[in-house]
Structures are given as structure tokens and as C-alpha cells.
Amino acid sequence: MNGVPHSSDDALTHERFILSVLARYALAVVMTLCLALAFIDLAQRLMPALPGGLFMVFSLIVSVEAMYAARMLSQATVRESVYGRSSTTYRIAEWVFIVLSLKLALYSARGLDRLWFDLASWQSDMALFFMDGEYLTGLFLMVLVWSASTLFAGSLSELDADPRTVEAERAAGVRTERASARHRLADQIFLMGGAIVVMMILAHVRPAPTWTGFGHPQPVSAYVMVYFTAALGLLAITQFTMLRAGWLWERMPIARGLGQRWIVAVVMFLVGLVILALALPTGYSVGALGLIGYLIALLASVVQLLSFLLMQLIFLIGAWIASLFGAAPPEQPSPVQQLTLEQPTVLNDPAAPDPLWEALKSFIFWAIFAAVALYSVSQLVQLRQDWLARLRQLPALAKLLRGWRRLWAQLRGAGRRFVVQVVEFTRALAGPTRRSIARGAPGFVSVRRMSPRQQVVFFYLAMLRRSAQHGYTRPPSQTPYEYARRLQGVLPEAADDVGMMTAEFVEARYSAHEIAGAQVGLVRRAWEHVKAALRRVRRPSSEERS
């Protein structure tokens, strides 16, 4: 099985191919129209009387015509190899038609009477009266639209992946560089997107000091979103086209309906994204710096409150102790400072309902904005590892990094030590746990609260400790039974007790079954005997110890 369609599927495949080509060009036309709209939006700020609707209609016609012409000419180039003459002639005719029809269209909007009036003035000074500001703006827009459409069409025609074309390429052994064509198309899309954003900003936004916030909400320029939605749709379709061309080239069987599923998934993906993007907050009342200042003040207030409460507690304990001894209670401390938490200043928005609510909304906005910024930076860093490598080679930065690592290590170490101290302190406050008793952790222990197993272990460890105090320390290499033999030699009168304690300890320590309470009683008595025997024994000399 290979990827080349055969008789039954041929017509259907070709039909789908035509549809996919049409979809691609339609998206490109939409994007070009968004560009035109952004330009008209900006131009209307300078010339409010500009016929935007007319220009849009004309842009649509020019865009469709430019794309069609570019596609046809590129195919004619391949077929006839007469690029030079045929395309030049066509282009000249095309532009003469655009120039004249634009002028006529403008006159049809103003009224044809104006044309007869202007005809006379053209004879006196053609350049001055024919090329008026409105017409020149329209002409510039058409150049813009035509150029963008031609560029798009050039890239898109290179991306065509008709099964027949791919098979012909395969037979000839020449493969079209679709990946580079797609990269070029993406560059054009991104560049045009940037241009649209710039034009939109110039048309609508008044620059103001940053970070402190703005009071006036901006009008929604929908064409920006439409442009980027169409752009991502085009990128998704061209991605599939490119992949499919590769699969066809390798004659890989492709699952039926993959293209349809792709389209459905892309539409759902984009619709979901648009909803998400529209749902996220864009307006804020409190600037970033103001918000940070407010958050710091809030934190300081909380700390202050806590310290005041602690002082009160200390005072109460002191007063209680003083009352026990009959002394006068100490003077009650007054709060260091009056607790004040200033309301955040809502900038340039006197109609804001509640400053705290506005601060919360702003906080959400800035948090999302910071997350987006951090994510983008992290992704860029991941993609541009070479930048990091180059930066690391800079001596000053290398020193700085070393210093930072050292500082970070010290901070981490200090943090760990602090955590350990805090944990130990809280444990000491809470009293010994069963686990700490089992580990032999220092502190007060209640033998009665222990389980029988723990009690047996406890008495054995007590025997070890007491024996060590008398100079019979158990080396770590010695097993309990080896140590028991040694201790039995020293304490012959308590030899049986030592043996019994050792056996019970081994059972308690290494068995899984239940330890009976009766065993604990035996061990306790044995421990008493051993303790008494240890009291009577003399301390060993240094030779005996060794």
C-alpha cells in the first residue's frame, strides 16, 4: 500500500485538495483584510472622512486578484518558462486597472459630478489634482494589500501537496522545500501581526507612564484577534499540508479522515483558545508598583499584628508568675505602632466601586501577566540554549554565577538547619513520641505508655547504657549474644538475667509476632538484678577494657 491515490479515491482526493487550497487562501485573504482594516483604522484617525468601507471592499478585490494572479503566474512559469515577458505584461495591466478603478471607485462614492469638475483641473495640473490625499492613501493601502497577498500566495503555492505533484516530484527525485516555504510564511505572518498591533496602538492608545495604571479602557480592536486566529489556523493547516507531503513522499499509508479530524481539532482548539483569551482579565486599576507596595504594606501589618499578640501573651504569663510570688504585675506593653493599612490608590479611576476589590482584580491580572511573562521567558531560554552558553562564558557573569551558586548553597544550608531546629524545638515542646522512644531519643519517657516490645527494647538499652557507664561498652561490631557472653563473665551472679534479657531483646527486635506483657515483667525483674550486680562490680582496668 502506498500513499498515491488510485482510481476510486482519485476524484475525492483531488476535491479535498482543492478545498484545502481554498481554505488556505481564504484565511490568507482574511488576514490581509485585517491588515487593511488596521491601516484604515489608523488613517481614519488622521483623515476621519476617509471612505473605510469602500477601501475594504477594494482591498478584498485586490487581495483575491493578487493571490489568484500570483498562483496562476507561478504555475505558468513552471509550464511555459516564459516568466519574464508574460508576468511583466500582466503586472502592468493589473496595476493600470487598480490605479484607474480605485480613482473611479472614489468618484463613484463622491458622485460623478465631481469627476467632470476635476477633469478640468487635471488639465491644468495633473499631479496636484489627480493625486489627492485620499487617493494616495487608498493607493498606498492597495500596494500594501497587494504586496501582502502576493507574498502569501507565493509561499502558499509552494506548500501545495497534491498527491500527483508529490509523486511527480518523487519520480523526478526533486523535492520541494516545503519546510522553508512554511518558515517564510510564518515570518510573513508574524511580521504582519506585529505591524497590525503597531497600527492598532497608534490608532487607539495614548502612551502614558507605565506600571502605574491607566484609567481609560481601550476600545476592543477585534481585527487583531481575527488576524491572529486566522494566522494560527493557517499555520495549523500548512503544518498538516507539510506533514502530509512528507508522508506521501515516503509512501506511508495515511489513516482515512485524518485531514478532516485535523480540521475539527484545529477549529475546536482555536475556539477554545479564543474563549480563554477573552475570559482572561485585561483591565486593571492598580499599577504593578502600587500593587506591590500595597502587598508589602499588608504583609508588614500582619507581622506587626502577630508581634503585638505575642507581646500580649508574654505579658500575661509574666503577670501570672508575678501574682504567684505576690509581686506587682509588670506594666502592660502598648502596641509599638498603631496598626494602619492604607487602602490602595486606584489610579485615574474615580468611578471604581471598591478599592480593595479593584486591588484584588489587579492582583489577579498582574499574577496572570507575570505567569505569561515567566513562561515565555522560560520557553525562550529553553529554545535558545546557545544564548545561555555564550552568556556563561562571559568572565564577569561566570563570577557572578559562581557567587550566586555559593550564596544559594549557603542559604539552602541555613534554611535546612533552621527547619531542623524548628522541628526539634516543636518536638521538644510536644514531648517524646513513640518513634523517638524507639530510636532512643533523649527526653522524658514514660515506660508505661510504651508497647511491650518497646519496653523490652528499652530495658535492654538501659542495660547497655548502664554497663557502658561502668566501663563495659558494647562495640558496634559485637552482636547482642557476643556482648552477653562478655557481660556474663563480668557479672556471674546475673549471668542468667543477662542471657534472658538478651534473648528477649533479640526476639522483640527481630520478630514480627506479638510480645506478651508477661515477658516485660520478666525482663524488668532481670534488669533490676543486673542493675544491682553492676553496682557491686568494680570498674575495669584499661587492659580489661581493651
Binding site for other proteins (CB under 8 A): 182-183, 186-187, 190, 193-194, 197-198, 200-201, 204-205, 207, 210-211, 213-214, 217-218, 220-222, 224-225, 228-229, 232, 235-236, 238-240, 242-243, 247, 250, 252-255, 257-258, 261-262, 265-266, 269-270, 273-274, 276-278, 280, 282-284, 368-369, 372-373, 375-376, 379-380, 383-384
Find cell 479535498 and name the residue. Answer: 16
Going by the DSSP 8-state scheme, the letter that residue 453 receives in this structure is: H
Q: What is the DSSP string of 370-396?
A: HHHHHHHHHHHHHH-HHHHHHHHHSHH
The minimum distance between CB 251 and other proteins, in angstroms, equals: 9
In sequence order, what DSSP letters do the residues of 118-170 get, joined into one string?
A: HHHHHHH-HHHHHS-HHHHHHHHHHHHHHHHHHHHHHHHHHT---HHHHHHHH
Closest approach of other proteins to the CB of residue 284, in Å: 8
Please compute Rg for the chain using Cα positions.
Answer: 43
CB of residue 387 vs other proteins: minimum separation in angstroms?
10
Q: CB nearer to other proteins: give 100 or 258.
A: 258
Residue 387 vs 425, nearer CB to other proteins = 387
55 Cβ contact partners less than 8 Å away, ≥ 6 residues apart: 36, 40, 138, 141
The smaller minimum CB distance to other proteins, of residues 135 and 249, is found at 249
Q: State in angstroms the smallest separation of the CB of 337 from other proteins.
A: 36
Q: Which is nearer to other proteins, 269 or 357 (CB)?
A: 269
Residues 6 or more apart in contact with residue 257 via CB below 8 angstroms: none
User: 459: number of CA atoms within 13 Å, CB side?
Assistant: 31
In whole angstroms, the minimum distance from the beta carbon of 189 to other proteins comes to 9
CB nearer to other proteins: pick between 43 and 237? 237
C-alpha cell at 273: 483558545
Which helix (H) or strand (E) covers residue 468, if one does? helix 452-469
- Distance between CA 516 and CA 451 in Å, rounded? 10
Nearest distance from residue 269's CB to other proteins, in Å? Answer: 6
Q: What is the DSSP letter of 257?
A: T
d(CA 483, CA 498): 10
Which residue matches cell numbers 502506498?
A: 2
* Residue with Cβ nearer other proteins (82 or 280): 280
Q: Which is nearer to other proteins, 213 or 344 (CB)?
A: 213
**Minimum CB distance to other proteins smaller for 62 or for 231:** 231
Distance CA 357, CA 410 (A): 41
Cα end-to-end span (Å), the chain: 86
Q: Which is nearer to other proteins, 107 or 240 (CB)?
A: 240
Is 188 within 8 Å of 35 (Cβ atoms)?
Answer: no
Residue 162 has φ and ψ, to the nearest 5°, of -65, 135
Cα(465)–Cα(432) distance, integer angstroms: 19
Q: Which is nearer to other proteins, 175 or 416 (CB)?
A: 175
Give the nearest distance from C-beta 16 to other proteins in angstroms: 16
How many angstroms separate the CA atoms of 482 and 467, rounded?
A: 14
In this complex, which beta carbon is closest to other proteins, that of residue 370 or of residue 447?
A: 370
Q: How near is the Cβ of 89 to other proteins at its closest, in Å?
A: 37
Least distance from other proteins to the Cβ atom of residue 278, Å = 6
SS3 70: helix
Q: Measure the CA–CA gap between 467 and 487, rounded to whole angstroms.
A: 8
Shortest approach of other proteins to residue 418 CB, angstroms? 36
Shortest distance, position 237 Cβ to other proteins, whole Å:
10
Minimal distance, residue 378 CB to other proteins, in Å? 10
Residue among 84 and 209 whose Cβ is closer to other proteins: 209
Cβ contacts of residue 169 below 8 Å, gap of 6+?
Answer: 175, 176, 249
d(CA 358, CA 356) in angstroms, rounded, equals 5
- The cell numbers describing 189, all together, are 505572518
Residue 478 grid cell? 559485637
Shortest distance in whole angstroms from residue 288 CB to other proteins = 8
Closest CB to other proteins among residues 181, 515: 181
Q: Compute the distance between CA of residue 206 and CA of residue 515 in angstroms, rounded to an integer.
A: 83
